[in-house]
């Protein structure tokens, strides 16, 4: 990354999936972000952001949330204003978890027309349809790392997990780059 490049700034993570058939319980996916401190970039998260929360300083929030996938295009959106995030943070991990409703495990292979898109303004950073992780119930999609100059760098981090959403939030940020 050159000194002229300011890195990524305000990023959107968008999620889409088709609703389940009318006779089945709804597919409910959630975007999740974990923030990690300079002192422990791969340690426990300082805080977790998901559909029921936002970051304490408002730099990570969810202006759009869906519990069914019903709608056109990307029905769930998380906004990360990395350029406003405090200097005490070194890393943010972002993932997707499928809510499990007791009707047997739901995996990404059970979904249709599903996908995630990560953009910085008009620049597409990542687009994935979950096909390579069809047997997973949760996955990380991206991480953002603060470099020595203070600029944020995007890294693709598509990794599958076979866990429930609560355990996933504890595990997802511990994944180190391959």
Q: What is the pTM of this model?
A: 0.91
Pairwise CA distance, residues 107 & 83, whole Å = 34
pLDDT truncated to tens, each residue of the chain (178 aa)? 334 457 899 999 999 999 988 888 888 899 999 999 999 999 999 999 998 788 989 999 999 888 888 888 899 999 999 999 999 999 999 999 999 876 778 999 999 999 999 999 999 999 999 999 999 999 999 999 999 999 999 999 999 999 888 889 888 888 666 5
Pairwise CA distance, residues 138 & 165, whole Å = 7
Q: Which of 157, 158, 133, 154 is nearest to 145 (CA)?
A: 154
Tokens found for residue 32: 């999740």
């Amino acid at each position: 990354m050159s000194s002229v490049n300011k890195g990524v700034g305000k990023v959107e993570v968008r999620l889409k999936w088709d609703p389940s058939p009318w006779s089945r319980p709804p597919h409910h996916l959630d975007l999740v972000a974990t923030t990690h401190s300079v002192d422990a970039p791969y340690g426990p998260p300082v805080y977790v952001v998901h559909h029921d929360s936002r970051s304490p300083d408002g730099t990570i929030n969810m202006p759009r949330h869906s519990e069914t996938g019903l709608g056109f295009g990307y029905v769930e959106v998380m906004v990360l204003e990395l350029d406003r995030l405090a200097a005490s943070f070194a890393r943010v991990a972002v993932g997707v978890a499928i809510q499990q409703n007791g009707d047997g495990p739901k995996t990404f292979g059970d979904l249709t027309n599903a996908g995630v898109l990560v953009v910085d303004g008009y620049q597409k950073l990542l687009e994935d349809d979950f096909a390579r992780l069809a047997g997973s119930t949760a996955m990380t999609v991206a991480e953002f790392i603060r470099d020595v100059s203070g600029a944020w760098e995007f890294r693709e981090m598509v990794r599958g997990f076979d866990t429930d959403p609560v355990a996933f939030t504890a595990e997802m940020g511990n994944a180190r780059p391959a």
